[in-house]
Structure 1
């Protein structure tokens, strides 16, 4: 087998698709390639096209955006980025966690607040986000350009629940992320890792009884059709990261490096505006289109019962990541405290 064929097999790409990508690279080095994990019009897609808009308006470069499924699933597009087939990738720490264990910190329940102003301020000003994470990603050949929030996490189930005990024996889909599995074990459920492409069918056939996602994704993916009971547990926000292949980025001119950084900043500001009110709009679409949907918002006492189980997840995170994880967690808490005090 040729090295070309081996690369195509590893990346999960048909040889024809790989050939097209490679040919595009050889024809024009200014034709950059960017893949993300979501569908047309979803948050990552909006971010990608705002990034593309800035790049193409401020340079002669072009940018090709690939959406979910066009080049495979999340693991595939990360491999393709590390191999240099893709220049840019947008991937949630939920999938990056196996590559960068410290990225799983976003899945410690009740670590992050859920009010938008505090969340946005955290992403703008956090030392952990803007200084510590870039160094961690660099170790894996990735240039972290921007981390940003997408929305509050919401659990959908086959019936409404208000206590951890009611989650007993329920199989809840989780991303392929060990710490997220620990979270749902702590909550009392049976965590079931599945790739995104299998989730709708698994809910429909009762292979699993629930899952978690931001409300816009629950609406976009039609998950409420097969998992109609929405529970707002207040346990965290969905976070994602946009990055570049580091060899590609380091090979850019100073002018192009600035262009890429400025484009990432521009897209961040645009996405913050985009997600403002997005959850409410998505929930309205869901409830107006399906009369079987129920919405449960846990009160403070009910949340306290779930929050009481969070320390074991935090301890598991430290076991997984060691001293570096502890230092990152301490910085997270310090950043959040300073933001909330201000």
Structure 2
């Protein structure tokens, strides 16, 4: 069904010139959510500094994430938000972003890391080429939290819990290691799955838990500190390669402007979202695990690390080593 939708949509979108002045940009969220805010700022910069226009397609208008990534690969759209949680199946090394307890929790260190990491902006960027994609940008969207029907303070509490994960192998490994039964599902099936008790948990940044009303079908929020949600902005490679030097520079400038804006925009966003959730559902419990409570999860994460290296071989090991070296450099720069 997804491939049929993508193919049908592609025929429609390709009806116009391949390199039209209107650039199409599909995101995985709504316009008022973090990806939508980034995309809007990107659009504003492009349109203020060129004759081009950018049409933004929010989640669902062109299908699920797998559909929009495929449309970008085909050249039916020019830009796409393609999170590693989905593209990790296409580019296994991208699953490094999904490894628990690797990314730093300090937002300032994270912001510096994504912007300056040669592992991201050179090594991983080069892996997109084989998928007919060009990496434009990557940015964090906030710490992921677990939302569940029962409270969670240890891996034992996740035993028997069917936990929705994005459709990429390493997230399956992560939640199985955490004690749950990892259940890969497209995002569009998550709310109903929780509502019908087909699944009993899911993870996402706090703003997304609030905006998608995940709190209506779960009862407990748990901060484990195990990861940050990452988004990649990619362009169709053939489209990007065909741009003039001036337009390539314009895309880079627009991405830089949008990145700086979205990092600043997210300050306080988690607390605001949590306050809205607690107002809407006072019975919702919020638990921030102590270092001692996190230790069993950290120990379980060691086997996920081993699985990543097993899945990706020498290439993945080199990415992981570079990733950690770049994080250390950012910590030294920022002091985090």
TM-score, normalized by length of structure 2? 0.96
Q: Unpaired runs of 5+ in structure 1?
A: 1-7
Q: State the Cα deviation string for residues 64-117 of structure 1 (Å, max 9, x = none).
A: 110100000001001111111010101110000010000001111000111211
From 5, 8, 20, the equivalent of 1:12 is 5
Contact 2:170 2:304 in 1 (8 A): yes
Q: State the Cα deviation string for residues 289-325 of structure 1 (Å, max 9, x = none).
A: 1122110000010011110111100010001111000
Q: Tell me what 1:302 maps to.
A: 293
Q: Tell me what 1:185 maps to.
A: 176
Q: CA deviation at 1:286?
A: 0.5
Alpha-carbon distance between aligned partners in 1 of 2:74 and 2:231, rounded to the nearest angstrom:
21
2:129 aligned with 1:138? yes
Report the 3-state secondary structure (helix = DSSP H, G, I; strand = E; otherwise coil) of the residue aligned with 1:41: coil
Q: CA deviation at 1:139?
A: 2.2
Q: Tell me what 1:227 maps to.
A: 218
Aligned residues: CA RMSD: 1.5
Q: Tell me what 1:256 maps to.
A: 247
Q: CA deviation at 1:25?
A: 3.3
Q: Tell me what 1:39 maps to.
A: 30
Contact 1:142 1:245 in 2 (8 A): yes
Q: How many residues align?
A: 333
Alignment CA distance shift 1:102-1:69 (3 Å) = same
Alignment of 1:140-219 (within 5 A): 140-219=131-210
Q: Unpaired runs of 5+ in structure 2?
A: none
Q: State the Cα deviation string for residues 251-273 of structure 1 (Å, max 9, x = none).
A: 01111111111111111111111
TM-score, normalized by length of structure 1? 0.94
Alpha-carbon distance between aligned partners in 1 of 2:107 and 2:4, rounded to the nearest angstrom:
37
Report the 3-state secondary structure (helix = DSSP H, G, I; strand = E; otherwise coil) of the residue aligned with 1:281: helix
Alpha-carbon distance between aligned partners in 2 of 1:325 and 1:13, rounded to the nearest angstrom:
30
Alignment CA distance shift 1:9-1:62 (3 Å) = same
Q: Tell me what 1:4 maps to.
A: none
Report the 3-state secondary structure (helix = DSSP H, G, I; strand = E; otherwise coil) of the residue aligned with 1:185: helix
Q: CA deviation at 1:131?
A: 1.5
Contact 1:175 1:194 in 2 (8 A): yes
Q: Tell me what 1:271 maps to.
A: 262
Query: Mean Cα displacement is larger for which, 45-54 or 125-134?
Result: 125-134
Alignment CA distance shift 1:309-1:9 (3 Å) = closer
Q: CA deviation at 1:10?
A: 3.7
Contact 1:35 1:89 in 2 (8 A): yes
Contact 2:2 2:67 in 1 (8 A): no
From 72, 90, 93, the equivalent of 1:81 is 72
Q: CA deviation at 1:31?
A: 1.1
Q: State the Cα deviation string for residues 135-165 of structure 1 (Å, max 9, x = none).
A: 1112221110101000001000001110111
Report the 3-state secondary structure (helix = DSSP H, G, I; strand = E; otherwise coil) of the residue aligned with 2:145: strand
Which consecutive segments of 4 or more residues in structure 1 shift more than 6 A?
none
Contact 1:171 1:192 in 2 (8 A): yes
